[in-house]
Amino acid sequence: MSLLLLDSASLWYRAFYGMPDSWVAEDGTPVNAVRGFIDMTSRLITQYQPDRLVACLEGDWRPSWRVNLFPAYKANRVDDTGEEDEPDLLEPQIPIILDFLELLNIPMLGVDDYEADDIIATFSKREKGPINIVTGDRDLFQLVDDARKVKVAYLAKGLSQHDLVDRKWIEKKYSIPGDRYALFAMIRGDASDGLPGIKGIGEKGAAALVQHFSTMEEIMDAASRGDERISTSHAKKLIADEAYAQIAPTLVHCALDVPIPTMSLELPKGSQGLDRLNEIYAFRDRYNLGANVDRLLSALQW
């Protein structure tokens, strides 16, 4: 029973920036992200043929427990009102996407005080594989697990040329053991999330350290002991940034214990009844989503 986990915000941001903003509904509402999201979803279903699917949502894009630990977490994305800085033309499209997912009975979930990444991580550890995680976010490489058949469909190159990431892909890309991506990210940092990493140690230095150690605790212990596997320069930088090194695992690791409610993950395939189809067609016509919706219905075998 294969499972497809969508990092929904990653998809609609990619759709928004990849599709013409001239696409609007009859009332002028922008729908480029809606159309792109629907098309991406239909193509993913057609390609991966999942039995189960969850559109994972941000319950909170800056969970309090991460912000309390590190106030600068994603602070670079906060607007003047304290909310996430979203493009004006994207914001009104998100409720349309969510309404459409609900109309199709496609499972979706957001949980208060957790990011979509945390929900994806919890599902990926709780459910049996094969599992494909769809995202443009490298953070989720930490969930790749060949033994459990968990892979990441990584959209950095776009959907048509996306990479299906397994541990060998990670090893080749970053020259690190494939199961140590999270540790690598802790040291390297992530500017998009406002995470500095260990100051003065870049990607190459992080990769060199991760070759020899599997946890941040091991690295810090080795640095304090003058372990020859850590250069003097790197050891000094690690010790100087010990406070960040202590909190980095909690910041970078996805939560694996999100309280997920009992819910069906089954993808709604087959006939859903005439009334439901009429509602879907009315929605399609209202937002000028003709061929986009039809392609998704075809992918769902309706």
Secondary structure of the chain: what % helix, strand, coil (to 5)? 50, 10, 40
- Segment 130-137 shows an average pLDDT of 97
What top-level class would CATH report for the domain 181-252?
Answer: mainly alpha
- Does pLDDT of 276 surpass 90? no
Residue 55 sits at φ, ψ, to 5 deg, of -85, 105
Token pair 């090194």 is found at 245
What's the pLDDT at 271? 65
- Segment 106-120 shows an average pLDDT of 98
Half-sphere CA count of 12, side-chain side, radius 13 A: 23
- Does pLDDT of 92 surpass 80? yes
**C-alpha to C-alpha distances, 211 to 96, 162, 230, 240, nearest whole angstrom:** 46, 27, 11, 22
Give the C-alpha separation, 156 to 158, whole Å.
6
- Does pLDDT of 254 surpass 70? yes
Domain positions in the chain are 3-166+256-299, 181-252
Residue 191 sits at φ, ψ, to 5 deg, of -60, -30
Task: Report pLDDT digits (tens) over 170-229.
Answer: 999 999 999 999 999 999 999 999 999 999 999 999 999 999 999 999 999 999 999 999
Mean pLDDT, the chain, as a whole number?
95
Give the C-alpha separation, 260 to 271, whole Å.
28
Give the C-alpha separation, 89 to 34, whole Å.
11
pTM of the model: 0.95
Half-sphere CA count of 294, side-chain side, radius 13 A: 5
CA end-to-end distance (rounded Å), the chain: 20
What's the pLDDT at 78? 84
Closest to 44 in 3D by CA, of 132, 111, 123 = 132
Share of the chain above pLDDT 90, in %: 90
Domain 3-166+256-299 has CATH 3.10.20.30: no
